[in-house]
Amino acid sequence: MSADNWAICPKCKEKNVTLREDYEIGMDEFGTLSIDYSAYCKECKFKYKYNYIISIPMEDKKEIV
């Protein structure tokens, strides 16, 4: 799943400046979960990136019926 969003910038919040957020969350067929997030404000140049990847052990996976 991926999406983009517009939120209030935490550094420019008194000016009601928008911050662009992009994120993607997904799991592949091997059980690797990845989370990717970024945010950027054109006004103050604030930016933030976050990436997390974890491999889910096969014995922890449950079959969904």
Q: What are the sequence ranges of the domains in the chain?
A: 2-56
CATH number, domain 2-56: 2.20.25
Q: Is 64 a residue whose pLDDT tops 70?
A: no
Q: Decide if pLDDT at 56 tops 90.
A: no
Higher pLDDT, 64 or 28: 28
Question: How would residue 34 be classed by pLDDT, with cut points 50, 70 and 90?
Answer: very high
Res. 26: pLDDT tops 80: yes
Q: What's the rounded Cα separation, in Å, for the pair 36 and 11?
A: 22
* Res 61: pLDDT: 56
- The answer to whether residue 65 scores a pLDDT higher than 70 is no
CA angle 40, 9, 37 (to 5 degrees): 45
